[in-house]
Amino acid sequence: MKKFMYFLLSLIATSPAMADINIFACEPEWASLSQELGGDKVTVFSATTGLQNAHYIQARPSLIAKARQADLLVCTGAELEAAWLPLLQRKSGNSAIQIGAEGYFMATDYLALSDIPTSLDRSQGDMHAAGNPHIQTSPLNIMQVAQALTQRLQQLDGVNAAIYQQRWQDFEKRWQAATEKWQQQAAPLKGTKIVVQHKSWSYLVDWLGLNQIAVLEEKTGVPPTVKDLNNVLNKLKVTPAKFVINAAYQPSRATDWLVDKTEITKITLPFTVGGNEQSTDLFSLFDDTIQRLLNANK
């Protein structure tokens, strides 16, 4: 009997420590941030990849199973996941991740959003009543979300609160230094006239001081018509732009059309972690984004 007990104790001693919080992240940026802040105290699953449109995915059985096991749901909010997240929550039967629960965390709840519509008209496309949800395109927003997420981790796992605080302080220091570096590198971009395919870059535009003069999608989330594209083309004849931005997950047909008609420079940005091979985490995401913008601005 004693030998058996010693055997059990040795297994416990040599087994890796189990994570304390099981996190279901809706998007790769929040999966990456959760891992930064949680370290080995969390297990993180991302429901989407950097090459998927987070507006439109299916609440597949595999996702439902992952949601059923989650202690914490970390998503963007502001209707970004409205087409699938409510169904996922309901099907999971997991009370911990329902609206109002401690395990329900929406990143956009901790920021003042831009592009809030003055009136709602669904005929004008995929409008978000709360404002533009694509907050991950600015590192300033990431910092605010990180602080709020740290506090939530501490609430859920008070035993390890000091560890989360230490990891937050380390992340804050590194992120502030990186943000200052990116801003200095991107200084030549200020005022540069650009076109975007989809209105998903508002926070990047504001952060870097870019001058967005046109959007290819006349109706947000709706592929532009020939008329829409020609309207942009006519605008560029009056006010030329340096480059046009599309996200790695987006079909580039409209952007390619504009490039063919104007010879404007096309930039495909990763948009989120995993959007390309270079963007493996939040730091490399912005390293790559800034470098691609600078290369196109030469």
Residues written for the chain:
298
Residue 166 shares a structural domain with residue 215: no
- Looking at residue 16, what is its pLDDT? 40
Asked if residue 119 has pLDDT above 90, the reply is no
Chain segment 214-238, per-residue pLDDT in tens: 999 988 878 899 999 999 999 999 9
Last residue of a domain, one of 149, 181, 213: 181
Asked if residue 291 has pLDDT above 80, the reply is yes
Residue 65 shares a structural domain with residue 119: yes
C-beta of residue 103 within 8 angstroms of C-beta of residue 68: no
Confirm whether 74 is domain-assigned.
yes
Confirm whether 283 is domain-assigned.
yes
Confirm whether 8 is domain-assigned.
no
Asked if residue 17 has pLDDT above 90, the reply is no
Confirm whether 37 is domain-assigned.
yes
Residue 169 shares a structural domain with residue 51: yes
* pLDDT tier for residue 263 given thresholds of 50, 70 and 90: confident
Residue 195 shares a structural domain with residue 173: no
Asked if residue 120 has pLDDT above 80, the reply is no
Residue 177 shares a structural domain with residue 193: no
Instruction: Write out the two tokens for 47.
Output: 């429901």
Confirm whether 6 is domain-assigned.
no
Residue 250 shares a structural domain with residue 266: yes
Q: What is the CATH number of the domain that holds 68?
A: 3.40.50.1980
Confirm whether 7 is domain-assigned.
no
For residue 218, give its domain range: 187-296
Q: What is the 3-state secondary structure (H, E, C) of 66-96?
A: HHHCCCEEEECCCCCCCCCHHHHHHHHCCHH
Q: Range with the lowest mean pLDDT among 45-49, 124-128, 186-190, 280-284?
A: 124-128
> Phi first, then psi: what are they for 197, rounded to 5°?
-75, -45
Residue 202 shares a structural domain with residue 170: no
Asked if residue 121 has pLDDT above 90, the reply is no
- Looking at residue 129, what is its pLDDT? 76
* pLDDT tier for residue 127 given thresholds of 50, 70 and 90: low
Residue 31 shares a structural domain with residue 173: yes
Residue 197 shares a structural domain with residue 261: yes
What's the distance, Cα to Cα, between the start and end of the chain in Å? 75
Last residue of a domain, one of 181, 210, 240: 181
Confirm whether 146 is domain-assigned.
yes
Asked if residue 3 has pLDDT above 80, the reply is no
- Looking at residue 280, what is its pLDDT? 98
Cβ-based neighbours of 83, under 8 Å, separated by 6 or more: 55, 56, 57
Last residue of a domain, one of 159, 181, 203: 181
Task: Please tell me whether residue 45 adopts helix, strand or coil conformation.
Answer: strand
* pLDDT tier for residue 13 given thresholds of 50, 70 and 90: very low
As a whole number, the mean pLDDT across the chain is 91
CA distances from residue 5 to 8, 13, 14, 17, 26 in whole angstroms, order as listed: 5, 12, 14, 19, 42
Asked if residue 197 has pLDDT above 90, the reply is yes
Instruction: Write out the two tokens for 229.
Output: 């594209």
Asked if residue 10 has pLDDT above 70, the reply is no
C-beta of residue 152 within 8 angstroms of C-beta of residue 105: yes
* pLDDT tier for residue 194 given thresholds of 50, 70 and 90: very high
How many CB atoms are located within 10 Å of the residue 161 CB? Answer: 15
- Looking at residue 123, what is its pLDDT? 53
Cβ-based neighbours of 13, under 8 Å, separated by 6 or more: none
- Looking at residue 97, what is its pLDDT? 98
- Looking at residue 5, what is its pLDDT? 42
Residue 111 shares a structural domain with residue 231: no
- What is the number of structural domains in the chain? 2
Chain segment 138-186, per-residue pLDDT in tens: 999 999 999 999 999 999 999 999 999 999 999 999 999 999 999 999 9
Residue 28 shares a structural domain with residue 84: yes
**Strand order of the sheet with strand 104-106?**
42-46, 21-25, 72-75, 104-106
- Looking at residue 115, what is its pLDDT? 85
φ/ψ bin of 78: left (φ > 0), alpha (ψ from -120 to 50), beta (otherwise) = left
Residue 68 shares a structural domain with residue 158: yes
Angle made by CA atoms 49, 111, 132, in degrees to the nearest 5: 60
Confirm whether 10 is domain-assigned.
no
* pLDDT tier for residue 193 given thresholds of 50, 70 and 90: very high
